[in-house]
Structure 1
Amino acid sequence: MNAELILQARGLRKSFGALQAVDGVNLDLRKGDITGLIGPNGAGKSTLFGLIAGETRPSSGQVLFQGHDITGMKPEQVFRHGLARTFQIPRPFRKMTVLENVMCAAPNQSGERFWSNWIQPGVVAQQERENRARAEDVLAFCNLTHMTQEMAGSLSGGQQKLLELARVMMAEPRLILLDEPTAGVNPSLIEHLIDRVVELNARGVSFLIVEHNMDLVMRICARIVVMAQGRRIAEGTPAEVTVDRKVIDAYLGEVPA
């Protein structure tokens, strides 16, 4: 695997009956990049996310992450390898507090093993304190400290998107897949969410972002991958993609001014 690449997908295919949702997609993601994934509705973007994150088993093809073959792994296994994702529609534990939601995402918790609570109660308690402190730091980073004891179900759509980002941060992932992070989000929160993404990227976290907000994509993405009808039809810098005739015909409709 190229040392500069964090993820490679080769010949990924996924069929649902007669529908070829993802059709032989190759994808290279460079370490440290924010990469945009765009295309019309039904292009196969969310299915591709699912194949990479382990939620969907590919019909064929391979996914390599940091040199490891993660093809067909379960989502929790992929997560433990350092690859995390958020969802277009957030999935918090609605009847748990914001703090509890974030603490639940901490990896390798001793307290999850029943006997540890009896045999090593001191270790479990110490880890609980460390996870709480870490969760509080993450919530402060996401500007959610004032919501710590609120039920997650009471948060606005934008706050839930920030909560999802906070949860994946608990695992300190090297690559985060963001599925339409600004959809349904108040404009003021959009700017804060994007600031957090840019700050995490400056700390070395790579991103692959599905997003319909083209202004945002053009602003923060180093490279853009374009899909249509399950296939990758173009890839390049924002400037290159916006003048690509295949992209214009399939998605943009016209060259932006």
Structure 2
Amino acid sequence: MKNTRLFSNMGGLPGQSELLSSKAVFTTAYAVIPGSVMRDIVTSVLPHWAGTRAWIISRPLTGFSETFSQYIMEVAPGGGSDKPEPDARASAAIFVVDGEMIVTFEGEEKALRTGSFAYLPAGRRWTLKNTGDVPAKFHWVRKAFEVVEGLKAPPAVFTHEDDCEISAMPDTDGRWATTRFLDPNDVRYDMHLNIVTFEPGAVIPFLETHVMEHGLYVLEGRAVYRLNEDWVEVEAGDYMWLRAFCPQACYAGGPGRFRYLLYKDVNRHTKLW
């Protein structure tokens, strides 16, 4: 299954005559940040990044989701950073939705393009440069890596969604499937960043209720998503942020397939405070 266009049309500003209503919501169990509110005036400029702006769409909050931050980065041609990560504890997962760039990891250049994925282990040296003629846009998930005594640090991963096997969920005839960039059985990794794909009419047929936190960014299509007690219509460019144990389900109504980028924390014991 080759990728089609991935949503990357952030920015701009609505006209003065447009309605103020929106499906943006922040609750005690989940948040919805629709693409319509990811405008120019809510971007951040980051230290040591040139020609770059960022939409910070999640960050650790006490009593809510606490394991990760997720940025949408837009890097102008020639822009980038020689010091992208200020925290030596932070591992990074990157997924490119538009353009081209070079990530130099431990002195080795890696070319990334639309649909590319990279996992960069904590405490390792990397830089990023937009080498193309158009802005490069990518998701950047940052997580403080949870070290486990006696377990080796995970290696870096560079791949592309076209080169990854799509795994169908059991008893779905391939209508609900997942592209996994990291081996789910490799406990060295403490997070996953996957692409979940639903064909029109496919569903999550029960209310998932589990300990993993989620960031879900819609790359393509539209659906109705159950979040706690609410059904919410979502489409390409929308972001959902779920705390642990928030019930969730999904119905992909079509007409095309529905795909989203999914973060979750995995492979670690719960902390006992």
Global fold match (TM > 0.5): no
- Identify the structure with bigger relative contact order (alpha carbons < 8 Å, sequence gap 6+): 1
Task: Please report the TM-score for the alignment, with normalisation by the length of structure 2.
Answer: 0.33
Larger Rg: 1
Task: Please report the TM-score for the alignment, with normalisation by the length of structure 1.
Answer: 0.34
Higher helix share: 1
Higher strand share: 2
